[in-house]
């Protein structure tokens, strides 16, 4: 099994929806574009990635949303070194078709009180649903490692919540731990690095906005 040395997760650059939440009333979530700021963030992330990867091969998986696809294109990676695949399981949490701004704000307030993992948007997904499809993607990713010539780098271009849930699934974090963490900023990354013992560690933690509750599940 040829496990990669690095698994890099990048959140898309700033989108039209990040800059103006009224746009969800007119444009489907999956069709939102990057803003000028978002393109600059993606280009800056691309500089860091090109320096990180050097001349090494990369296996890339990109959410099918327009803002993630545009982010990947802004990276400027050498196409001769990158095998890229569109991966729907890495998409944003589904909120349910057209969105009314005031309703979305109310739903977000409900989610903050109820919990981001279990709260289900009325016509969309819960965080737990995203966790399940991320888990299904991980099974496919693990199988890809069986190829003896698997690239030494994996790149995932996705969304903030999906990044946290990927790490939750990989590192077996509790729900309380997940709930205590904040999404990375637009264009930010986190990296799983393979150490000499054959284990992956996170290059830097997610910011924590509260102390997680702990429970003894053995009692």
Q: Is residue 210 part of a domain?
A: no
Assess whether 92 carries a catalytic annotation: yes
| Domain span holding position 39 | 6-150+160-202
Which residues, other chains included, contact 108 with Cβ-Cβ below 8 Å and sequence gap of 6+? none
Active-site residue flag, 207:
no
Pairing of strands 200-202, 189-194: antiparallel
Residue 216 has pLDDT above 60, yes or no: no
Phi–psi pair at 3, nearest 5 degrees: -75, 140
Residue 34 confidence (pLDDT)? 98
What confidence score (pLDDT) does residue 21 get?
Answer: 86
Cα separation, 113 vs 96, in Å, equals 20
Choosing from 12, 70, 116, 177, the catalytic residue is 12
Mean pLDDT in residue range 133-151: 96
Residue 125 lies in a domain: yes
pLDDT digits over 177-201, tens only? 999 999 999 999 999 999 999 999 9
Per annotation, catalytic residue among 14, 70, 92, 177? 92
Task: For residue 177, tell me if it sits in a domain.
Answer: yes
Q: Is the residue at 86 inside a domain?
A: yes
Q: Does residue 133 have a pLDDT over 70?
A: yes
How confident is the model at residue 123, as a pLDDT?
Answer: 85
Sequence-distant (≥ 6) Cβ neighbours of residue 110 within 8 angstroms: 119
**19 exposure class (CB count in 10 Å sphere: 0-12, 13-18, 19+):** middle
Q: Is residue 123 part of a domain?
A: yes
How far apart are the C-alpha atoms of 144 and 39, rounded to whole Å?
Answer: 31
| pLDDT, the chain, mean | 94
Instruction: Summarize pLDDT for 16-63 with one digit per residue, the tens.
Output: 999 998 898 899 999 999 999 999 999 999 999 999 999 999 999 999
Domain containing 40 — which CATH number?
A: 3.40.50.1240
pLDDT (tens digit, 9 = 90+) per residue, 53-108? 999 999 999 999 999 999 999 999 999 999 999 999 999 999 877 777 788 888 88
What is the total count of domains within the chain? Answer: 1
Please check whether residue 218 lies inside any domain of the structure.
Answer: no
User: Does residue 219 belong to any structural domain of this protein?
Assistant: no
Q: What distance in Å separates the CA atoms of residue 40 and residue 187, rounded to the nearest whole number?
A: 9
Q: Mark 34-58 as b/e (b = at least 16 C-beta within 10 Å).
A: bbeebbebbeebbeebeeebeeebb
Q: Is residue 208 part of a domain?
A: no
Between residues 216 and 122, which one has the greater pLDDT?
Answer: 122
User: Does 15 score more than 90 pLDDT?
Assistant: yes
161/131 Cα distance (integer angstroms): 10
Flag whether pLDDT at 218 surpasses 70: no
């Amino acid at each position: 099994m040829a496990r990669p040395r690095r698994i890099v997760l990048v959140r898309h650059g700033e989108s039209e929806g990040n800059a103006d939440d009224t746009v969800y009333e007119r444009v489907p979530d999956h069709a939102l574009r990057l803003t000028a700021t978002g393109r600059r963030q993606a280009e800056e992330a691309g500089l860091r990635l090109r320096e990180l990867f050097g001349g090494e091969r990369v296996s890339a998986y990109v959410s099918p949303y327009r803002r993630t696809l545009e982010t990947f294109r802004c990276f400027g990676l050498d196409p001769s070194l990158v095998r890229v695949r569109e991966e729907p399981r890495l998409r944003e949490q589904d909120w349910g078709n057209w969105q009314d701004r005031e309703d979305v704000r109310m739903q977000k307030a409900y989610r903050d009180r109820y919990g981001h993992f279990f709260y289900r948007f009325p016509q969309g997904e819960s965080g737990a649903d995203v966790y399940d499809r991320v888990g299904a993607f991980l099974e496919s990713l693990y199988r890809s490692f069986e190829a003896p010539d698997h690239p030494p780098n994996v790149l995932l271009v996705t969304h903030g919540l999906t990044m946290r849930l990927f790490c939750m699934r990989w590192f077996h974090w509790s729900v309380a731990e997940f709930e205590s963490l904040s999404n990375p900023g637009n264009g930010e990354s986190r990296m799983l690095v393979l150490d000499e013992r054959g284990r992956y560690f996170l290059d830097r933690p997610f910011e924590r906005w509260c102390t997680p509750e702990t429970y003894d599940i053995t009692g």
